Amino acid sequence: MLTHEFKELVEVKTAKGDGYIWYMMDYGPQSDTIYTVIMKETGECWQMCHKDFRVKQNTTMGICGKYGAVNGHPVNGAKNGFGPEKPVTSFSGQ
């Protein structure tokens, strides 16, 4: 088992609201990694696996995307899945 307490809290969006990852527990390859998330608004602590949250935008760390839903709940106003809110288009120079 591996545990890690984050010295620099990671800001995340969850279906329960915004929060910070405070602690991580990895029980090995046969189970999901569990993260303890402290909710900003209520101070509640919830344990979640990686699919239950999305890291919030952090330009300094190069995380600039807008994400879709977490377990069926919209995040950042997206209406469909985990993809970007708007379709990504490439610039062809035309």
In a domain, 84, yes or no: no
Q: How many domains are there within the chain?
A: 1
In a domain, 87, yes or no: no
Q: Which residue has the higher pLDDT, 46 or 79?
A: 46
Contact 84, 69 (CB under 8 A): no
- Global pTM value: 0.63
pLDDT at 88 over 50: no
pLDDT of 68 strictly over 80: no
**22 lies in some domain:** yes
What single string gives the DSSP state of each residue in 72-85?
A: TEESTT--SSSS-S
Query: Torsion-angle region of residue 56: left (phi > 0), alpha (psi -120 to 50) or beta?
Result: beta
Nearest to 71 by CA among 90, 92, 52: 52
Mean pLDDT score, 15-20: 94
For residue 57, is it within any domain?
Answer: yes
How much is the pLDDT for 81? Answer: 43
